[in-house]
Amino acid sequence: MYPDQEGYSDHRGHSYGPHKDELLRRLRRIEGQVRGIQRMIEEDRYCVDILVQISAVKSAMQQVGLTILEAHTRGCVADALTHRDGGDEKIDELMDVIRQFTRS
């Protein structure tokens, strides 16, 4: 597959494209949760209740990240390996991002 063909994954047509609406919906929901946490702090809510909400936001962000990571692996990395176009570099990049992602 070449850059002008449908389904080609490069930096102009990101592999998470098919999930974009779902990702944006999730991020808007997370944004609302963060605003809720801000309100909870403004209202002097109980610490444990705030921490539970923070945990929920962290979990939701983790799911967004995993969706993008999977799309990148199945799209960008797989394309590079299939077309022998910088496959080793893509694997190195993938491993770096996995290391960074799993640190949190």
Rounded to whole angstroms, the Cα distance separating 4 from 26 reads 30
pTM of the model: 0.77
In a domain, 68, yes or no: yes
Number of domains in the chain: 1
Is residue 2 included in any domain, yes or no? no
Is 38 within 8 Å of 70 (Cβ atoms)?
A: no
Range of the domain at 51: 17-103
9-64 per-position pLDDT tens digit:
444 568 898 999 999 999 999 999 999 999 999 999 999 999 999 999 999 999 99
| CATH (domain of 86) | 1.20.58.1000
| Dihedral sign for Cα atoms in the order 21, 27, 30, 31 | negative
What DSSP string describes 70-89? HHHIIIIIHHHHHTTSSHHH
One-letter identity of residue 15:
S
Asked if the structure places residue 5 within a domain, the reply is no
SS3 23: helix
